[in-house]
Amino acid sequence: MLGHRTTTLRFGARRAGTALYLRPRDTSPELGGAMTRGRTHDRHTQGQGQEALAGKVALITGASSGIGAAAARVFAREGARVVLVARREERIAQLAAELRAGGAQASHTTGDVRSPADAERAVTRTVETYGRLDVAFNNAGAGGDLMPLHLTEDASYDLVMDTNVRGVWNCLRHEIRAMIESGGGSIVNTSSVAGLVASRVPAPYIAAKHAVIGLTKAAAVEYAGSGIRVNAIAPGLTRSEMVEDWFARVPGQEARSKASAPQNRMAEPEEVAEAVAWLCSDRASFVTGATMPVDGGRTTW
């Protein structure tokens, strides 16, 4: 039994006589929990039965379908107040109404993340409605044309890069400003397994999703001191409008795509959204600059 004695821990071979000294009941931020500017989080005392996002204000882009719509439902279930952003107003209005009917606080605003003004308006709307911004999920994206690189038109390249890269850039700038003012927050950007490895998807999409990871790492390093965590997810094959359209246009692709991962199946959007919710929550308080594959093992072989 250690009591309050000082315990010496030595890892591997001694280096120049150095050792790491730990007090068994030390509660410093480095050992007992995680601390962010203006907010302290003790990971040992947080009840795991509590809602992961209780009291948080969350902004979700690309919320009209797929992973974005699933995230809206998961975040609301986990106690967040959510603002939904997408171009298709009817869909996000219906989803916000569904969430409110279930007892959540939810609102929506239309916007195209390719527009800096739309991104700024979404963040401003969030802060005006709920008083601050704690969580942002930058999920809006575009897949592009299924064409070989040398046959891809400039317009297709521009759509993919402007949506997937500039869209994240536009949102990050305004989200970070709002989070600095409120003392910190958590941002998750949607990349893809195509941001980790090349696959049989359009070259502009692969380039864009690699760029999202670069932006994620840069922002994580730059704003860690402001109490802002920035991470990315890299979903594998996930049920969505984009994927269903791809399968419809390419016979046999569904079976090939499923076989590309050890689990040999397609993820439901909610499975990816659960990972996003964890990254956004204080339970992931020591995670920043990371890219989390949610891919059924796709990138392990």
> Do the beta carbons of residue 133 and residue 175 sit within 8 Å?
yes
Report the phi/psi class of residue 82: left, alpha or beta, with left for phi > 0 and alpha for psi in -120 to 50: beta
**One-letter amino acid identity for 94?**
Q
Active site (annotated) includes residue 205 = yes
Check if the beta carbon of residue 157 is closer than 8 Å to that of residue 260: no
In 3-state terms, what secondary structure has residue 130?
helix
Collapsing DSSP states into helix, strand and coil, what is residue 237? coil
CA distances from 300 to 49, 209, 233, 293, 295 (A): 32, 18, 15, 10, 9
Compute the distance between CA of residue 48 and CA of residue 37 in angstroms, rounded to an integer.
23
* Catalytic pick among 21, 130, 157, 205: 205
Residues known to be catalytic: 205
